[in-house]
Structure formats: structure tokens, C-alpha cells
A and B are shown apart, each in its own frame.
Chain A
Amino acid sequence: MSDLGTGLSVQPPGLDAPMPVVIPPSRPTGPKPTPLEWVKTNLFSGIGNSLTTVVVGLFVAQIFIINLLELTRGNLTWGMLSGWLISNDYEILRDNLRLWMVGNYPRDELWRPVVAGWLAVATIGVVSGVLFRNAQQTAMQAGTEQSTSRPTDMIRRFWPLLLLIGIFLSLTRTITPLLITIAGVALLMGGRLAGKALPAPIRAYLWFMVLFGLGGYMAIMTGEPTMILAVLSAALAWSLALRFAPAELAAIPRTVLTLVGGIIVIRLGQLVGFGRFIEDLPRDVLDIFGASTGLAIHPMAVLVISVGILAAVTAQAYRSAATGASLARFSLGLIAAGVAFLVGRYFGDLLNTRTEIGVGGAGWDDWGGLHLNLLVAVVGIVVAFPFGLLLALGRRATKDRSDPRSTTLFAIGGAVVGAIVVTIFFGTAAAVRPLGLIDLPFPTVVGAIAGAALGAAIPLSRQSSLPVFWGISVTLIEFIRGVPLITLLFFGDKMLRFLFPKGWEPPSTVSRAMIVVTMFSAAYIAEIVRGGLQAVSKGQIEAAQAVGLPAPKVLRLIVLPQALRAVIPAMVGQAISLWKDTSLLSFISLLEILKVSEIANAQPDFRGSSLSDLTLVFVAVIFALISLTMSKESQRLETKLSVGRAQR
């Protein structure tokens, strides 16, 4: 059409033509330096620089030179690395490799970790393929350069992980592990190809692929596919129903749909065992309030009441057509989920009785070794994330009111009140000398401190529109973050069973550890997400309100996507920290890799030789290489995200 005077004809691109790929220009670089020039600029450019090079170089060289000298003399003094590496005897590692990998998993069921591992690796491959294809499509639509990935890039990116796998394989005695690893790598690559080839509608269900992979993993390892299959089918059906609910659905009387959905949910609850809960709950509630327990509340009454509430809500929803339609979809989702749950349970039972999966298997109380560390780390992040999000939202300051002066006044007042109250209740037992000066009763000191904290919290809570939730969130977060993980583990190990009522079976050690680790992780995630929430500028929220979005939608559509995207590097840092903290599980006698090295050293074959060095370094290498992988991924994400931001 228009000729821009350059003799070229420029056509505006049609709507279906791909955007021209724009490759941003790269900065000009000078000629590459020769090796001699490089040495001169980087190592010997000035007097200070040369001196540093000489000193550091000597320091590094002497480690190796002294090593070799001592080695020739057959002498190993402390701290010398390479001699130690060569002369060591790796039998202890070879003999106990199974312990280090899966702990005390039943010997004749070892095919389960292998198959579950294959499934996990295939899922990772599919997910990476889907992510790659999604990123490619976004890049194509935005007109930016598409990233290419070659196998050598992958090797450079994941070298710590490959090194770790190589170390493990070098310690095996048969060829089976090598074949298993090769099959795993093949599954990974195949999964990636499959993920890239999936059509777009299926690629949107990325979350479900992860869920199915995880569920399948747990089902195979524990040998109980029924419940997992049922829950997965219900989740999938719910999501599909919500997505594909036809518009005509809104025409069906909403009351009917909601009632049917509600009944199915309650029936499901009774199936899973909440029936007794529904019977006992009113009695327990009345018990707590000290009322008479002569009142027998029939479950049918509870059913009728709940259905009545649902009906009232639906009747209200008639006022707004949009709410009515979404409520109808919600009911359809409930119905679909209920039906899918029952179907899934049926097929799960079939799997259980007709195939090998259901026979044997081990619940996670018997998992150990590297497997246990990974499990606790993954659960600690994945399960803790929603709780951390809730805590962060509770603690979020939505208003700008805080006056340092009134905080101090309230703190002092609170301290006085707290001291008086606690002394009245707990007496003046057990004097302490807090400053070595005067004797103060211990409860008074505790009361003063607690009172000060509570007093200071009152004016601070005015920053949030829901002060009670702010108070609960702050208490939980500051309590959990202020205490070392080891004390929380001891708390979980020794104190938790006192908090359960007498009839309940106390959870196993692994479950207790997972509860504690999840709580711990949730508090840290809450602080990270809170930082991200603060990073979203106020203008975004004001603009959303100006457009008329209700508060929950503002949160879901505007604030959270930006906030969570901003804190991804910090979240990966928290994941690394949690992975490193799984080493503390050895203090509560869980069979994770540090404890395995203690056990291995105590075995009769190896006792007496100072082999704690080797096992210690082995464990340190496992931790370090996996952390290094996660840390490199985090750095890579940081560069990718900051580049994206600059381009926009």
C-alpha cells in the first residue's frame, strides 16, 4: 500500500499472518582477546592484581602439591583432598547404596520405586515439553525470538544432576541400575516429545498432568490406588464440567441443580466416613459449651438444614443472573465430581484386586533414604503453599495507618496488664533473675513479654481491614519463624500426641515430621508472598476497583498473578532451604541420608575404620549437587524474568 519513499512496498499484516520476528540487536563486542592478552588483563593488570594472583595461585597450588607429596610418602594428614579421594575404599558406599536410596523399603517390592520413578520422569518430560511449546507459542504471538534448546545446552544446564547420577551409577555392582537409568532417560526424552506434540486444549491442563503424575507415583509406591484414583477422577471431572458447562444450563432451575449437587456432596461425605462426624459434631459442640448431652440430633435434621441453607443461597442468587449461572455450573461440577468419584473408586478397587499394584506396597512410614528427603521437601513446598498464601493474605496490610508512638504506648500498657493477669493466674513460682539484678517471678516476666507483644499488636492491626485474621496470621507466622526447625521437630515428636484426644491414633513419626515441616514452610512462604503482594503497585488495585471488579476477583485476576510471578526466585530459594533442612530429620530418628550414614558406619563390617569422612562427604555431595541444580535454575529464572520485564 503505502510506499515509504524507499521503494519498498509495505503491506500491513493480515490478522492471521504471523507477526514478523523481531530479534533485538545485540551490543557490539570488541575483538576476542588472545590467551596472552586475556592473562595480562585478568590476572596481571597491575601490581595489586599480580600480587593477588600469585598469592591465591600459590594457595591453590599448595593444596594439590602437598597432596601429591604426602601421597607418595603414603601419609594422609588432615584436610588433604586428592590423596584422600584416590586412596579411599568405597565398599561402605557400595554395600549400603540401597539404604541410601530408599531406606528400609521391603526388598521384594523394589520394582515399585523403579516404576514410580519412571512415571515421575515421564511426567517431568511431558510437563517440560508442554511448557516449551507454550513458551514457543507466546513468543510467536509477541513477536520475540524463540529460544532454541540443544542437548548440549541441557547438559550444561543440568551438569550437577548428571554428575550425581554418574556417582550413583559408579557405585552400583550390577548392570541393572544402568539399564533402569537409560530407560528413564528414554522416557524423559519421549515425554518431552509427546508434550510438545500435544494439541492446545490438552496443553491447558498442565496442572492436571502434574497431579496425575504425583497421584500415580503415590499409588504405585503405597499400593493403594483406590482413593487416589477416586480423588483424581473427581478433580478432573469438576474442572471439565466447570469449563464445558453449556450456557443453556442456566435455564435449568438453579434450586434443583444446587440441591442435587449438595445432596451428592453430603452423601459422598457419609461414604468417606463423615457420617459419624455429622452425628457426633453437634454433640461435641454442645459438650464444649458445657450443655447437656441429652440432646440427640438426628443426622437427617442436619441434612435438611444444610439443604435448606443451600436453597436459600440459591434463592438469593436469582437476583443476579451471573451468580445464578455460576452457581448452576458449580452444581454441575459437584454432580460430575461425585459421579466421577464413585467411578474412580470402582476402577481403583478393580486395580487393587485384579493387578499387582494393590498387593504389597509400603506406606510412607517405611520410606527412607534419599527418597524420604525428597518426599518431605516436595510435600513441604507443595502442601504448604496454599497455607502460606492464606497466611500472607491474612497478614496483608491494606491500609496505611500505623503510628509508632501509639504502638509503644500500647506495648507498655499491655506489658503491665499481662504481668498482672498472668501473676494472678499462675502465682509467683520459680523466680528468675532476668538481668542478674533482681529476682522476678518467672510467670510475671512471661506475662509482661506476652502482654507487650499483644499490646503492640492492637494498633498495628488497624492496618488491615480484618484485624482478627491479621492477629491470627501474625501470631502464627512470627511464632513459627522465630523458632529453629529443630525445636519444632522436637515439639512435633514429643508434644503433638498430647494434643490429640485419647481415642485417636497418634500419627507416625514421618507424618508428624511432615506436619511440622509443612507448618514451618508455610510461615516462610507467607513472608515471601507478602513481600510479593507489597510489590504490586497500588495503582493496579485502584484501576481494578475503578473497572468495578469485586475484591475476590481483584485478588485472583490482578494481584496474585503479579505478586506470585515477582517472588518466583525467592520461592526457589525457600525450596533449596527446605531441602537442606531435611537433613535435620535425623535428629528425630527418621531414616534419612544422614542417619543412614550413621547406621552404615555402625555396621560390623565397617566399624573401627575412620570411614565417617567418606560417608559424610558422600551425603554432603548429594545435598550440594541437588541444591546447586535448584540454585542454577533459580538464577536462570531470574535472568529470564527480568529480561521479559525489560522488553515490556
Chain B
Amino acid sequence: MTATTTVRSSPRPAPWRDVRVLRFVAQLTALIVTYLVVRFLWSNFVANTDEKNIDRDFGFLEQPANFNIQGSSFDRSNSVREAIGVGIKNTFASVIVGAPLALVLGTLIGIARLSKNWLLAKISAVFVELVRNTPPLIVIFVVNFALVLRLPVVADAWTPGGVFVVSNFRLAGPSIATHANAGLFNIVLVLAGLVALAVAVFRTRFSDRTGEPHRRVLWAGGTFLAISAVAYVALGGPHSVSLPRIDGRKVSGGFGTLAPYVALTGALTVYTASHIAEIVRGSILAVPGGQSEAAEAVALNGFQRYRYVVLPQAFRIAIPPVINQFLNYTKNTSLALAVAYAEITFIMVTVIGNGQPATQNIVVLMGTYLLFSLSISVLLNIVNRRLQLVGR
């Protein structure tokens, strides 16, 4: 038949058996129920807070905080909002130092666990199993009580190498002190960095064209150092090293951190490293064995085999769980309550203890953590999509 006949679509089933109608009705019902539930909870909340004369707005953020925070220039008269700012800064300080450290440590331990040396493998295994199976709170307690609090007081602090100060209140190391022309020198450094980048690109193109080794690291690094050295001398020494000195019961100079910070960051680094070690070990084992055998067949030694064949494939598998562990690190900093380190949860608890309304505080606290988590989650999704092997 060449005449085209319009094919009628099958007759629609009765509404109570039509999947599309049922879906619509179900979702509409869900929306109505959600609205009712939220309205119910909100009306209860309003009634209860009115009864107890508690404010429901965010005006408490402008009130003076009435407590001091160690280790910063915050004092009692600053507002609650600034206290929260200090808390966020402190949380960030712990994450930015601890997470990369945990990654490095965890990778090393994970590789050590797969070593051919039986002693090394077993010791790493014992360490990982022990730390992984302990709650992070207890790891923090152990590091705090057993290590940090046993350090000597500031007056008798250890000074390894004359460069560090190790005590149970403050731990300090050398830092950079700025003098005149420091700002100018920093700008020159940035310019030098850009020039070095240009040199590296130029050398790479040169190498592509002529086939000679580019040695771009040496060229770029040398350029950077040369420009910085000339600028340093020309500007009369704008930076110098400041070493920490014990000053009675305080430490002056240098770059100091409080003992609670060291306890928290150290404990969380060790804990997260044990998890990352397991992830790295699993991902290295997930690389097919044939890859290692092929690498040996083309005469790559052990280090080269890891660097060029195994680890690149292993990291593709490992990166999503590792980013998840960074997320866990961020959330575990909330346990700083145990060591009284002034990160955001501790500050919020103090603020609530000082009589500010609990609900808004907890909402702000959860909002801050949500912000951290969602940013890291978005990052994880982008990385995941880039690294995914396209499948069905």
C-alpha cells in the first residue's frame, strides 16, 4: 500500500490506570503534603518562640560577642558576626594545611603498604587498621592529651635548631618579616613569575620546533631567581627571616600557632591519611596486573613503573573518594570542641552559651558547612565528569 494511513495512537487508558495521570497526581500530592508539613512546623516554631520571647531575626549578629578568642586580635566588644568570621578563617586554616598533608602522607603510607619489604608492609597495615577503626574524636583526644599537652611550658620550651619553638601553648617557626619596599618587591615577584612562565612557554615551543630538550624548568626557574635576586639587592633587602624568641611566658616573632590548632590539624591529618592510604591502596590494586607486567617487560624500574604506568591510572580511580575524604576532613574540624580550638563550631557553641538565640546560630552554622560541602561537591562532580570513561 503506498497510500499513507495515519496510525492512530493506542486509546488512552482510564485516568486511574494512566501512568502519566498517576505521576502528575502523585507529585501534586507530594507538593501539597510538603507545603502542609512545612507550614505546620513553621507555625509551631513561631508559637513556641513567641511564648518564650525569643527573637526570630538575625539581629543578634550585630551584638557584641562578650568573649575573647585566643590567638587573634578579637576582643569582647567585637560583634558576633566578626566572631563567626574568625571561626570560618580558623576552620579554613586547618583544612588548607591538613588536607594536602593528609594526601601526601596517605599516598606514602598506601604505597608503603604494598611494598615488597614485609616489615614495612606490616607496620603500615597495623597503623592504618588501628587509626582507621578509631573514632576521629578519640584520635583528637589521644593526640591532644598524650602528645601536645605533655609538651613543656613556654618558659622551658624546646628549640630544635634554634629555629623552632615547641611548647604546650604555642608552637612557632620562622617567618618572613617585612621592611620598607616590601610591597614593591612582591609586585616584582609576581612580574618575575609571569616572565618565567613566558620563558617556559617559549622554551616548549622552541623544543617542539627544533627537537632539542627544552629544559624549561631550569630556564624558567633560573629567570625567576635571577630577577628576584636583582630586585632584592636593588630594593635594599625588603624581607628578612624572623625567628621566634621566647619572651618569658610568651613567644615573640616568628610564625606562631596555638597548640590546639596543632593538635586538631595533626590528629585529623593522621586520621584522614589512614583513610586515604586505604583508598590509594585499593586504587593501585584496581589497576590491572598486566599493566605492571608490561612495564617490567619494557625495562622500566620500580619507580618509573609507578610514576608513568600505575599511579596515573590509579589516581583516576582514587580522586573521587579522595575528594570525599577532604569533605570529611572539613566536617571533622567541628570536633575541635574537644581541644577548644576556636573554629566555627566552638565559636557557635560559645555564642549560644552566652545567651544568643540557638536556632539562628545553628542555622548559620549549618549553612556555613553546607557552603563548604557544596563547593567541594561541585568540584567533585566536575572532576568526575572529566575523568569518567565513557560507557553505556
Contact = CB atoms under 8 A, between A and B. Distances in A.
Interface string B51-81: 1000001110110000000000000000001
B135 A580 contact: yes
B119 A53 contact: yes
Given A430-B62, A469-B27, A487-B334, 16 more contacts: A42-B116, A52-B119, A60-B123, A288-B39, A429-B58, A449-B371, A465-B23, A469-B26, A483-B373, A498-B44, A499-B44, A501-B44, A501-B47, A580-B136, A594-B137, A631-B132
Contact of A486 (B39, B49, B335): B335
A45 interface: yes
A404 B382 CA distance: 10
Interface stretch (B29-37, B154-162, B180-188, B254-262): B29-37
Nearest to A84: B146
A155 B147 CA distance: 35
A624 B133 CA distance: 5
Interface in B131-184: 132-138, 141-142, 145-147, 150
Contacts, number: 173
A49 B39 contact: no
A495 B362 contact: yes
18 contacts: A78-B146, A79-B150, A429-B59, A453-B374, A466-B27, A472-B30, A483-B331, A483-B366, A484-B332, A487-B366, A490-B349, A494-B358, A537-B392, A576-B133, A580-B134, A584-B135, A623-B135, A631-B133
A620 B144 CA distance: 14
Contacts of B26: 466, 469
Nearest to A79: B146
Contacts of A631: 129, 132-133
A468 interface: yes
B337 interface: yes
A275 interface: no
B120 interface: yes
B158 to A, nearest CB: 13
Contacts of B377: 478, 482
Chain B interface size band reads 35 or more
Nearest to B35: A288
Contacts of A316: 16
A110 interface: no
A581 interface: yes
Interface in B4-46: 16, 23, 26-27, 30-31, 34, 36, 39-41, 44-45
Contacts of A587: 337
Given A45-B116, A79-B146, A499 B374 contact: no
A196 B377 CA distance: 48
A499 B48 CA distance: 8
A468 B31 CA distance: 7
Nearest to A612: B145
Interface in A121-145: none
Interface in B111-128: 115-120, 123
Interface string A179-197: 0000000000000000000
Interface string B350-392: 0010000011001001110111111001000000010000001
Contacts of B120: 52-53, 56
Across chains A and B, which 4 residue pairs bring their CB atoms closest together, nearest first? Answer: A482-B373, A627-B133, A468-B27, A580-B135
Given A466-B27, A483-B369, A494 B359 contact: yes
Nearest to A289: B36
Contacts of A60: 119, 123
